[in-house]
Amino acid sequence: MNFKGVLPTIISYTIFFAAAAITDCTIYTLYALLPFAAVFIHELGHIAAAALCGYKISSLTFYPVGIDIRLAGAPYGIRAVIIAAAGCAVNLLCFFVFGGTKNDAAALFAVSSLLYAAVNALPVETLDGGVLLSLALEQLCPRAAHKICRAVSFAGIAALWVLSVWILMRTAYNFTLFLMAAYLFATIFIRGAKSSSVYSQPRV
C-alpha cells in the first residue's frame, strides 16, 4: 500500500497545534478537532466497506481535510454502491448516536458528521454523491455518463457559488461556502479529471 501526502498533512496539523499553544487556546483546539474526527470516521467507513467487499487499498493520499482512497481493483454493481455510500452512512450513524447527548463535544461531533455527510452527498465529481451518480449513469447511459456527471457537477458548484455570494453579501464575512465551492471546482480537474470513469481508477 502506498501512502502519499502524509508529511504535508502532519506539518499542517503541527502548525495548527503550535498556533493554538502560542495563543493559549487549547480547549478551543480540541473542539476544532472534532470536525476532523468526523472526516476520519467517514474515511474509515469507506476503508471498512472496501475490506468487507473483498477489495484491498492500493494507495492512500492524505489531505488536511480528507483522504483519497484508491482500490486495487475496480468495484462494480452493488459492491461499488456500498463502498461509495459507506462514508456518509457512518457519519449519519454517528449523528444519530451522539446527536441526542447533552455533552457539547459529542453534539459538535454529531453536527460535524451530519454536515460532512451532507457535503459528500452532493452530486459533484470526487465526492461520494458524484461517484454514486456516475455508477448509476454507467448503467443507464454509459457513453454519455462522464459528460452528464461533469455537467451536473458544474451546475451544482455554480449553485453553491450563487448561494455563497448571497451569504457573503448578507454576512459580509462568511467565505466558507465560497471557498468550499472553489475547492470542489479545483478537485474536478486535479483529481477527477485523471479518470473519465469511476471504474478505470477506482477512488472513494
Give residue for cell 468487507.
52
pLDDT at 100: 83
Q: Burial-class residue 200 by CB neighbours within 10 Å (0-12, 13-18, 19+).
A: exposed
3-class DSSP assignment, residue 174:
coil
pTM: 0.74
Contact 202, 71 (CB under 8 A): yes
pLDDT at 182: 72
Locate all alpha helices (DSSP H) within the chain, ordered by sequence: 6-22, 26-52, 77-98, 104-120, 128-140, 145-171, 176-190
59: its cell numbers = 494507495
Q: Residue 21's pLDDT is what? A: 57
Judge whether 40 and 87 are in contact, CB under 8 Å.
Answer: no
Ranges under pLDDT 50 in the chain: 192-204
The per-residue pLDDT for 32 is 66
Say what the pLDDT of residue 20 is.
56
The candidate with the shortest Cα–Cα distance to 57, out of 5, 6, 1, is 1
For the beta sheet containing 66-71, the strands, ordered from the edge strand earlier in sequence to the opposite edge, are 2-4, 57-63, 66-71
Specify the 3-state DSSP secondary structure of 122. coil
Between CA 146 and CA 70 the distance in angstroms is 19
Residues 6+ apart with CB under 8 A from 118: none
Sign (positive or negative) of CA dihedral 122, 204, 63, 190: negative
